[in-house]
């Protein structure tokens, strides 16, 4: 595999600061559920010399790059090829019941964005693939070719929050009847032609459509809805979970999942909260934290990030 330029991990110091109380002392286990190129993982292994890291990723390219980067840590790492909703099965395969820290860095990884042939970037011409795991599943080109107009409209509206969803879906269906839409260049051209001039100045017309296709191809939201509760269930008392989201739909799912475990379950009107009704977790952030102006300037990929974190305060009943 060709050497890859090392990317700058988003909110690295803040993630380490939040995880340190649970993984900083003693032989602890931490899961990087979205390993990517291994930037956060490498920093955790360096900063906390007794930590054992379990790295998960659905992208075989990313696993290869991270494996080379982290090889010097020897038996302190276990890398698993899986989507992050498979965190439970991955830990069971390693005979690990609970962990002391979990990190999610959602969205598209640097290796996916930087390799133009993967088809994630609307600014570069490439086959419309967009699969994070290139070993399985339908490509974006197959979605474009086979989905009915109403389904394309639905995903553009639901996953891209695109107000021209109906117009774009109609134009795509008309265009594919003439010739297959197999490259990002052709799809972008169709979207640009369908965009009224007054709206084209508000941002690139392909941005939201490409986001919607990527989410649909990789089932990102449904996977996340399963993954966060599964991960929370694996955190030991005193352990922490840190989640970074990059768009509002992801952040909404994370927010709801954390709210559910940080609320008391005591019935309304109960004069005294019994121990079994106390929340299982406490929030470590007030709302969602964002990157500083300096970090956004130095690392543009940090611009949309929203970080939330929580700590387990008691075991399940």
> Of the candidates 179, 195, 218, which is a domain's last residue?
218
Number of separate helices (H) and strands (E) present in the chain: 14, 7
Report the distance separating Cα 251 and Cα 204, nearest Å. 23
Per DSSP (E only), the strands in the chain are: 29-32, 52-57, 77-81, 99-105, 235-245, 281-283, 306-312
Report the distance separating Cα 94 and Cα 265, nearest Å. 33
Considering only residues 121 and 88, tell me which one the structure prediction assigns the higher pLDDT. 88
Q: How many CA atoms lie less than 13 Å away from 174 in the CB half-sphere? A: 10
CA distances from 221 to 34, 65, 249, 307, 308 (A): 14, 26, 8, 17, 17
> Of the candidates 172, 193, 218, which is a domain's last residue?
218
Work out whether strand 29-32 and strand 52-57 pair parallel, antiparallel, or are unpaired: parallel
Res 1 pLDDT > 50: no
Query: Which residues are part of a known binding site?
Result: 38-40, 57, 84, 105, 112
Tell me, yes or no, whether 176 and 200 share the same domain. Answer: yes
CATH number at residue 203: 1.10.150.170
Report the distance separating Cα 194 and Cα 171, nearest Å. 7
Are 282 and 314 in contact, with CB atoms under 8 Å apart? Answer: no
CATH number at residue 235: 3.40.50.150
Q: Is residue 317 part of a domain?
A: no
Tell me, yes or no, whether 156 and 169 share the same domain. Answer: yes
Look at the alpha carbons of 8, 14, 19, 25 in this order and tell me if their dihedral is positive or negative.
positive
- The enclosing H or E element of 86 equals none
* Cα 261-265-269 angle, rounded to 5 deg: 150
> Of the candidates 186, 218, 250, which is a domain's last residue?
218
pLDDT of 264: 72
Tell me, yes or no, whether 103 and 242 share the same domain. Answer: yes
pLDDT of 182: 95
pLDDT of 263: 87
Q: Is residue 3 part of a domain?
A: no
Q: Is residue 93 part of a domain?
A: yes
Tell me, yes or no, whether 62 and 149 share the same domain. Answer: no
Residues 6+ apart with CB under 8 A from 216: 143, 155, 159
Task: State the burial class of residue 220 (Cβ atoms within 10 Å of its Cβ: 0-12, 13-18, 19+).
Answer: buried
Tell me, yes or no, whether 213 and 224 share the same domain. Answer: no
Q: Is residue 258 part of a domain?
A: yes
> From edge to edge, which strands make up the β-sheet containing 29-32?
77-81, 52-57, 29-32, 99-105, 235-245, 306-312, 281-283
Q: Is residue 2 part of a domain?
A: no
Global pTM reads: 0.89
**What phi, psi does 143 have (nearest 5°)?**
-65, -50
Q: Is residue 1 part of a domain?
A: no
Tell me, yes or no, whether 59 and 145 share the same domain. Answer: no
pLDDT of 317: 45
Res 247 pLDDT > 70: yes
Q: What is the largest CA-CA distance in the chain?
A: 69
Report the distance separating Cα 229 and Cα 84, nearest Å. 11
Tell me, yes or no, whether 95 and 125 share the same domain. Answer: no
Tell me, yes or no, whether 31 and 57 share the same domain. Answer: yes
pLDDT of 107: 81
Task: Convert the pLDDT of each residue in 217-244 to its tens digit.
Answer: 999 999 999 999 999 999 999 999 999 9
Tell me, yes or no, whether 298 and 239 share the same domain. Answer: yes
Task: Convert the pLDDT of each residue in 41-85 to its tens digit.
Answer: 999 999 999 999 999 999 998 999 999 999 999 999 999 999 999
Task: Convert the pLDDT of each residue in 273-316 to its tens digit.
Answer: 666 668 999 999 999 999 999 999 999 889 999 999 999 998 86
Number of folded domains in the chain?
Answer: 2
Tell me, yes or no, whether 278 and 145 share the same domain. Answer: no
Query: Which residues are part of a known binding site for S-adenosyl-L-methionine?
Result: 38-40, 57, 84, 105, 112
Task: Convert the pLDDT of each residue in 164-223 to its tens digit.
Answer: 999 999 999 999 999 999 999 999 999 999 998 877 666 788 889 999 999 999 999 999
Tell me, yes or no, whether 245 and 190 share the same domain. Answer: no
Task: Convert the pLDDT of each residue in 17-38 to its tens digit.
Answer: 999 999 999 999 999 999 999 9
Tell me, yes or no, whether 250 and 128 share the same domain. Answer: no
Residue 3: band (very low, low, confident or very high) from pLDDT cuts 50, 70, 90: very low
Q: Is residue 7 part of a domain?
A: no
Q: Is residue 298 part of a domain?
A: yes
Whole domain around residue 258: which residue ranges? 12-111+220-312
Task: Convert the pLDDT of each residue in 90-145 to its tens digit.
Answer: 999 999 999 999 999 998 766 555 555 556 677 678 899 999 888 888 999 999 99
């Amino acid at each position: 595999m060709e050497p890859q330029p090392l990317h700058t991990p988003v909110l690295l110091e803040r993630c380490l600061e939040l995880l340190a109380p649970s993984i900083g002392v003693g032989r602890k286990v931490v899961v990087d559920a979205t390993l990517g190129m291994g930037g956060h993982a490498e920093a955790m292994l360096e900063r906390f010399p007794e930590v054992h890291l379990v790295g998960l990723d659905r992208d075989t390219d990313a696993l290869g790059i991270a494996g080379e980067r982290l090889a010097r840590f020897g038996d302190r790492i276990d890398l698993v090829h899986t989507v992050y909703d498979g965190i439970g099965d991955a830990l069971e395969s390693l005979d690990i019941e609970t962990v002391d820290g979990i990190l999610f860095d959602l969205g598209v990884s640097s290796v996916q964005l930087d390799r133009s042939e993967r088809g994630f970037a609307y600014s570069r011409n490439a086959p419309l693939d967009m699969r994070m795991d290139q070993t399985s599943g339908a490509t974006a080109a197959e979605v474009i070719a086979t989905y009915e107009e109403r389904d394309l409209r639905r995903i553009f509206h639901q996953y891209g929050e695109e107000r021209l969803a109906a117009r774009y879906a109609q134009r795509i269906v008309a265009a594919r009847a003439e010739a297959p839409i197999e490259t990002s260049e052709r799809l972008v051209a169709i979207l640009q032609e369908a965009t009224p001039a007054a709206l084209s100045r508000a941002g690139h017309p392909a941005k939201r459509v490409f986001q919607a296709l990527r989410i649909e191809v990789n089932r990102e939201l449904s996977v996340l809805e399963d993954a966060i509760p599964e991960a929370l269930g694996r955190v030991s008392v005193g352990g922490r979970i840190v989640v970074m989201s990059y768009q509002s739909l992801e952040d909404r799912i994370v927010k709801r999942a954390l709210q559910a475990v940080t609320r008391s379950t005591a019935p309304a009107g109960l004069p005294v909260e019994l121990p079994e009704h106390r929340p299982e977790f406490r929030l470590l952030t007030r709302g969602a934290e964002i990157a500083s102006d300096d970090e956004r300037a130095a690392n543009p990929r940090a611009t949309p990030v929203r970080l939330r974190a929580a700590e387990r305060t008691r075991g399940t009943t």
